[in-house]
């Protein structure tokens, strides 16, 4: 019997395999475990209106924008995202409020017999927990972010009123496939028969695969309309890469408005303008300080880092200082080629098992002509960057979601 929240977290983190720690070893080959867990607690995912959002990049931001708009319209809105940055409970929210500690304790105790019998992953447990919490709290509608891929992701047990795929890029190639087409097909697996779906900006070969899959299951493809300028200028998520996400969120909301979820445009705009307030989203081009300008962002694959570098180029600063760390299963060589050579790098190891050793990362950087210091931890790296940065300089923290998490936990 688990008696308190910290004891429960220790149980979940230590007993169950976590993708963020061990990578693909934490994944299961099908949805069997999730189905068994949900059956054990009475299938709480049934008979609820869901919006399902996947993609390589942008799915968390898009999910949060959609959820914020729904909340601003007065709907009791569940939001499931992953991973968390500071508190495990960030993954499961209703109208921006995190799941209660007591529910986490009670639910984990309740399904302990199933855990012993099924041996599920950490992610499978959290998905079941989210659906149970949303059911008990009687939400009006839920926005569910895909964890990894789509076809075999634990969230793919729902029948949503609408599915959306934000983007397709080469990430998690050891799991999803080595080509854009293979990855697109995995992501397309969230599209359900006779259902509605949208897609964001992506290569033509990816959109073709997804559209062909949609036709094969007789799903209804919805063409995106241009985003009103007011939506783009009012959106609270300011990274330049958010433009595509804002467009997709706008079109998702247009679509659900015609699917018996009436929305007021002004209320939706209020939600888009206050995403952090309505959902608690963090780590997306988040400005921490202005003097010196300090920014963190969770972009961590080739496409994500490319967007980050382009955004950094728009800042006119005397000197750029970058706190940097990555996990081992990324295309490190290709990503490092994107980074600005005129910056100083303060290298750390993300505090997960998959984290690349800071000494190895520092060597990789220096061998390519970068000025880099091995700082071991994100806290040390930021401290050194801050002591070296003048007030008219810029500090950027990123390279991995877990570096951003370590940084936010340290300040």
Lowest mean pLDDT among 47-56, 85-94, 231-240, 364-373: 231-240
pLDDT, tens digit, for every residue of 274-318? 999 999 999 999 999 999 999 999 999 998 999 999 999 999 888
pLDDT band with cut points at 50, 70 and 90 for residue 322: very high
**Three-class SS state of 85:** coil
Of 227, 261, 279, the last residue of a domain is 279
Residue 51 and residue 150 in one domain? yes
- pLDDT value of position 34: 95
- pLDDT value of position 75: 98
Residue 115 to residue 175: CA distance in whole angstroms: 25
Domain at 64, CATH number: 3.40.1190.10
Residue 238 and residue 311 in one domain? no
pLDDT band with cut points at 50, 70 and 90 for residue 237: very high
Residue 307 and residue 235 in one domain? no
Number of domains in the chain: 2
pLDDT, tens digit, for every residue of 15-49? 765 544 444 444 567 899 999 999 999 999 999 99
325: left (phi > 0), else alpha (psi -120 to 50), else beta? beta
How far are the Cα atoms of 81, 347, 385, 388 from residue 379, in angstroms, in the given order? 25, 10, 10, 14
**Three-class SS state of 72:** helix
Residue 103 and residue 127 in one domain? yes
Q: Could you write out the DSSP letters of every residue in 202-217?
A: --HHHHHHHHHHHHHT
pLDDT band with cut points at 50, 70 and 90 for residue 187: very high
Stretch 73-78: mean pLDDT? 98
- pLDDT value of position 253: 98
Residue 61 and residue 162 in one domain? yes
- pLDDT value of position 2: 80
pLDDT, tens digit, for every residue of 126-135? 999 999 999 9
Residue 172 clears pLDDT 70, i.e. is over it: no
- pLDDT value of position 163: 98
Residue 352 and residue 247 in one domain? no
Residue 120 and residue 235 in one domain? yes
Residue 253 and residue 308 in one domain? no
Q: Which two tokens stand for residue 374?
A: 């091995």
Cβ contact 294:385 at 8 Å:
no
Residue 263 and residue 304 in one domain? no
Say what the pTM is.
0.93
Domain at 395, CATH number: 3.90.190.20
Percentage, residues of the chain above pLDDT 70: 96
- pLDDT value of position 47: 94
Of 234, 257, 279, the last residue of a domain is 279
Residue 256 to residue 263: CA distance in whole angstroms: 8
- pLDDT value of position 244: 95
pLDDT band with cut points at 50, 70 and 90 for residue 170: confident
Return the number of other C-beta atoms located less than 10 Å from residue 357's C-beta. 14
Stretch 137-164: mean pLDDT? 96
Percentage, residues of the chain above pLDDT 90: 85
Residue 296 and residue 334 in one domain? yes
Residue range of the domain that includes 230: 5-279
Residue with tokens 């983190």: 13
Please tell me which residue, 303 or 249, carries the higher pLDDT value. 249
Residue 395 to residue 167: CA distance in whole angstroms: 28
Stretch 329-338: mean pLDDT? 91
Of 279, 294, 315, the last residue of a domain is 279
Residue 243 and residue 160 in one domain? yes
pLDDT band with cut points at 50, 70 and 90 for residue 176: confident
Task: Compute the 3-state secondary structure of the chain and give helix, strand, coil in percent, each to the nearest 5.
Answer: 45, 15, 40
Residue 406 and residue 361 in one domain? yes
């Amino acid at each position: 019997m688990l008696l308190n929240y910290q004891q429960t977290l220790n149980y979940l983190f230590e007993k169950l395999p976590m993708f963020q720690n061990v990578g693909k070893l934490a994944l299961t080959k099908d949805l069997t475990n999730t189905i068994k867990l949900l059956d054990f607690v009475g299938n709480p995912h049934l008979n609820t209106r869901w919006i399902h959002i996947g993609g390589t990049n942008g799915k968390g931001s898009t999910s949060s924008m959609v959820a914020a708009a729904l909340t601003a319209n007065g709907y009791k809105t569940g939001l499931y995202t992953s991973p968390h940055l500071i508190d495990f409970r960030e993954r499961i929210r209703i109208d921006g409020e995190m799941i209660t500690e007591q529910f986490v304790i009670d639910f984990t105790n309740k399904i302990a017999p199933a855990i012993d019998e099924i041996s599920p992953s950490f992610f499978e447990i959290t998905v079941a927990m989210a659906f149970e919490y949303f059911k008990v709290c009687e939400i009006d509608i839920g926005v569910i972010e895909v964890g990894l891929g789509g076809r075999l992701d634990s969230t793919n047990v729902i029948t949503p009123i609408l599915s959306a795929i934000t983007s397709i890029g080469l990430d998690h190639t050891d799991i999803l496939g080595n080509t854009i087409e293979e990855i697109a097909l995995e992501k397309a697996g969230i599209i359900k028969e006779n259902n509605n779906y949208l897609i964001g900006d992506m290569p033509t070969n990816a959109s073709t695969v997804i559209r062909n899959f949609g036709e094969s299951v007789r799903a209804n493809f919805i063409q995106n309309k241009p985003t009103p300028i007011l939506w783009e200028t009012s959106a609270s998520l300011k990274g330049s890469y958010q433009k595509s996400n804002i467009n997709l969120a706008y079109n998702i909301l247009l679509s659900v408005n015609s699917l018996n979820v009436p929305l007021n445009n002004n209320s939706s705009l209020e939600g888009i303008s206050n995403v952090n307030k309505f959902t608690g989203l963090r780590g997306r081009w988040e400005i921490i300080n202005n003097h010196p300008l300090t920014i963190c962002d969770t972009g961590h694959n080739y496409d994500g880092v490319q967007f980050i570098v382009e955004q950094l180029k728009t800042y006119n600063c005397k000197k750029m200082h970058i706190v940097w760390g990555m996990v081992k299963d990324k295309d490190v060589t290709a990503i490092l080629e994107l980074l600005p050579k005129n910056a100083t790098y303060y290298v750390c190891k993300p505090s997960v098992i998959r984290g690349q050793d800071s000494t190895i990362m520092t060597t990789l950087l220096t061998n390519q002509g970068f000025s880099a210091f091995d700082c071991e931890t994100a806290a040390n790296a930021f401290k050194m960057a801050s002591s070296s940065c003048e007030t008219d300089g810029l500090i950027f923290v990123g390279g991995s979601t877990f570096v951003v998490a370590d940084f936010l936990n340290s300040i």
